[in-house]
Structure formats: C-alpha cells, structure tokens
Amino acid sequence: MTVEFVGLDGDDTLWRNEEYFLGTLAAFRGLIAPYVNGGIDIDERLEANERANLEFFGYGVKGYTLSLIETAIDVTDGRVTSDVVQALLDLGKGMLQQPVELIEGVAETIPILAERYKLIVVTKGDLWNQEQKLARSGLADLMFGVEIVAEKDLATYRRILHRYDIDPATFVMVGNSVRSDILPVLEAGGRAVHIPHELTWALEFAEHDGSVPTLASIKELPEWLEEHG
Amino acid sequence: MTVEFVGLDGDDTLWRNEEYFLGTLAAFRGLIAPYVNGGIDIDERLEANERANLEFFGYGVKGYTLSLIETAIDVTDGRVTSDVVQALLDLGKGMLQQPVELIEGVAETIPILAERYKLIVVTKGDLWNQEQKLARSGLADLMFGVEIVAEKDLATYRRILHRYDIDPATFVMVGNSVRSDILPVLEAGGRAVHIPHELTWALEFAEHDGSVPTLASIKELPEWLEEHG
C-alpha cells in the first residue's frame, strides 16, 4: 500500500546526539583519571552502571549524568573529589543546553517529505530535553505528530499506530537504530528504512539480516519512498 | 454541556508523591549536616538550585537527585564526601523504586468514574518514572488516555484537547495543584475541580480565587459530576 505516514527517529537521524555523549565521555575519563588505579576499564564500568541503572533512570542525559557520577565514585573507590562531581554535573547541563545541529541533508529533505507524507517524530529520552531539542531544531512545525516515548518497542509502536489510526502497511519508520527504529516496526507490520549513523551506543546495538532497505543519507529518502513506498 | 472527559492529575491526586520528596529531603539534611557551617539555610539553597536547574532538568526525580548533589556540594563548600554523594544517588534510586500507594478513595472511585466518563491521566515528571508509576498503580486499564507531559500549561492542555478532539466544555480536570491542574484548564475553556493535598511543593504553589469547586476527597467526585457536570 501507499505510504501515508513516515516515522522519524530524532537522535542521530534528525540531529546529532551520540557524538556529544562521546565528547562528555572523553571529558569524564580525563576528570577521573588522576584518581583511578591502573587496570580499571572505565568504559566497561560505566556501561555496566548504565545497564544496571536503566531500569530506574530510563534513557537520556539526566540518567547518564547520574551514572557518570556513580561510576566516578565507583572506579576511584570514593577518592573522587566534589570538584570533579560538580564538573560532571556541569557536563550534564552542558549537554542539555547544547544547540541542536541537524544531520546533513535533514534541513532540505524534511520540507519535501512534509509536503507528501504525514511526519511523526518518534524519539526517546528525557521528555523535557527532547521537547527542547525538537523546538530548537526548527522542524516542529513540519511535523504531523510528536511522540516522545520511554522505550521504542513493539508495544510503543502499536500504541502510536493505534493513536493516529494508521494502517501499518502505510507506515514507514526511518532511523539509525536497528534495535529501536527497525525491528519493532517490522514486528508491528510496518516497514522501516535504516539510515546508519557512524556512532551507535553500545546499548542500542543490534543487526538486521540485510533485507532492510538501507540508505546512506536522508537525502535519498524522498526518491526511495517514490519508488518503493 | 455534559461532561464526557475527565482529566486526572497523577502525583498527589491518584497516588502519594510529595511525601517521598519530603522524606528524601529530611534524609538529605541529615546526611550533609556534619559538613555544613552554621547559618546556612539548606532548604532555601536547595529550592534556589531546583529553580535554577528547572530549565535544564524539567520535573521529576532524576533532576531532583542532581539538584540534591549540587546543593550538597554547594552548601558544604565542597567538603561533602563521595560517601554522601553515593547516599544521595541511592536516595534517588529509592524514590524511583518506591511502590505506588494510591491516595485514599482512588481505588474505589476510579472504576466508578471509568464507567461514566473517558478518563485521561495528565501528569508531568520523568517519562520513564511516570509510566512505571501508572503501571504499578493498577489503574492503567481504566484509562482512556495517558498524557505524560513536560509542563502543564495552557499550550499543553490545548494540545491534549485537540489530540482527543475534545470540546473544552465537556472536559473537567481534577487535581491538587492550582498552578498545573486548575488555572491553565480554565484558560483553555475547560472546567476544573480542586482536590487539595496536604503537601504542596513550593514551585507548584498558586492560589485560586475561591470560585473553583473544591472537594475534600476524590470520593466526592462522582456525585459532584452527577450534579454539576
């Protein structure tokens, strides 16, 4: 059936995101390095803490900042100073104030898509922060709907399809995360287009079997939808 | 016009909330007391930090925990130890794991309301946490809609009315916060019923002019709606 609705992932599909986390991670390593004994894998401990904290914090910068602080205490056996903790709080606030930088091709492609399809942003993370990012993106007025969700799983996509009364056969989801943007949408009966981003967070990692249409840039999306949608 | 939709606030209308923040605040004071010089008003400094951080963090437990940590560093001039910071992280996680305790009268009244009206929970705070609270409340299946929002202002209520295609004259919002549950709903053309809670957060404080219907308990709501709705 003809595509009527296009779902768009936010982070690392519409705007840059993961690189800011990596920038913060590099700063984090530098801040705590003087207090860490040799042989400790800081990244591994942070990832373990993020995984353990996910059930409490969910996704987003606030939970990440709390996990950074906890990891700083953890990997330094409590030797980390309050100066460093304050610096980590400031890193978190810096991420939350970050101007939104659109991914290449987004600014010119979204208006084209908006003329032909009903666009729905489907993004996860902190509600407050995601709303600010959408507002700062300048794209909000081109969107038919915005869904900021706690988790991008089958139940969430089913709820969204139901909410907008969408026949799954008319829905295509576009995003960089196979785990969040592709697999659950296929399970819900929709279609999905993968636009990989060079950086993917470990907790988002998944693969598809190669049968999912994959584009190098969102700039190719209007043509793909014309041909295959 | 006849009431068709009833909006229900979550925190301190359906389930207990503010008391857990106050319990955490008491624990916070105790934890940092040994490091604080005399003459410092801890509560005042915390409230000032919460206000200043609101634009970054929005509402909810994660931002509150970050503000507690920042205030601990601030009021102790950095003397607070990492043990205390870890204890604050644990307090935050404890709040996020808190079992949901329904306010008296909610468990028996919501099923009655759900038979007669379309119920929509309108709640703010961390998305992940609010979804967990709703799931733990046992009330989710009785709800026609759930709206977890970043801010409960005029724009938000207008968006919700539009989303469900609600004539404002058929909408009544019920909650404990005059600022968030009453005033913006009246401005949007709906009606509101105030059910005060004994505890109200300083940043939520507002008053109405006395003309807003005020009930002592949600148990009185079905009868009020019969008579006035």
Q: What is the pLDDT of residues B155-181, one digit of tens each?
A: 999 999 999 999 999 999 999 999 999
State mean pLDDT over B10-28.
96
DSSP sequence for A91-126? HHHHHHHPPP-BPTTHHHHHHHHHHHSEEEEEEES-
Residue B110 dihedral angles phi and psi, to the nearest 5° = -60, -40
Report the gap between the CA of A206 and the closest CA in chain B (Å). 22
Q: pLDDT band at B8, cuts 50/70/90?
A: very high
Nearest residue in chain A measured CA to CA from B78? A82
Whether the Cβ atoms of residue B142 and residue B162 lie closer than 8 Å to each other: no
Kindly indicate whether the ipTM for this predicted assembly is greater than 0.90, answering yes or no. Answer: yes
Q: Are A222 and A116 in contact (CB under 8 A)?
A: yes
> In chain B, where are the structural domains located?
5-16+101-228, 18-97
Q: What is the mean pLDDT of chain B?
A: 95
| Contacting residues of B for A83, CB less than 8 Å apart | 78
CATH code of the domain occupying B5-16+101-228? 3.40.50.1000
- Judging contacts by C-beta atoms under 8 Å, the chain A residues touching residue B73 are 82, 85-86
* More confident: A35 or A198: A35
Instruction: Collapse the DSSP code of B132 into the 3-class scheme (helix H, G, I; strand E, B; otherwise coil) and give the result.
Output: helix
User: Burial level of B101, CB count in 10 A (0-12/13-18/19+)?
Assistant: middle
Best of B127, B147, B153 to substitute, by most chain A Cβ atoms within 10 angstroms, is: B127
Residues of A in contact with B82 (CB under 8 A): 73, 76, 78-82, 85
pLDDT tens-place string over residues B40-70: 999 999 999 999 999 999 999 999 999 999 9
Topology (CATH level 3) of domain A18-97: DNA polymerase; domain 1 (1.10.150)
Distance from CA of B204 to the nearest CA of A (A): 17
CB contact under 8 A, A57 and B128: yes
pLDDT category, A1, cuts 50, 70, 90?
confident
Residue of A nearest to B144 (CA): A163
Question: Do B89 and A69 lie within an 8 Å CB cutoff?
Answer: yes
Bridge partners (DSSP) of residue B121 are: B8, B146
Closest-CA residue in chain A for B87?
A70
**Best A128, A149, A162 residue to mutate vs chain B (most B CBs within 10 Å):** A128
CA quadruple B138, B139, B145, B148: dihedral sign: negative
Closest by Cα among A61, A141, A127 to A98: A61
Which residue among B63, B86, B96 sits closest to A56, beta carbon to beta carbon? B96
Instruction: Let me know: does A214 contact A196? Beta carbons within 8 Å.
Output: yes
Residues 6+ apart with CB under 8 A from A156: A122, A147, A149, A150, A184
pTM to 2 decimal places? 0.93
- The count of CB pairs under 8 A between chains A and B is 92
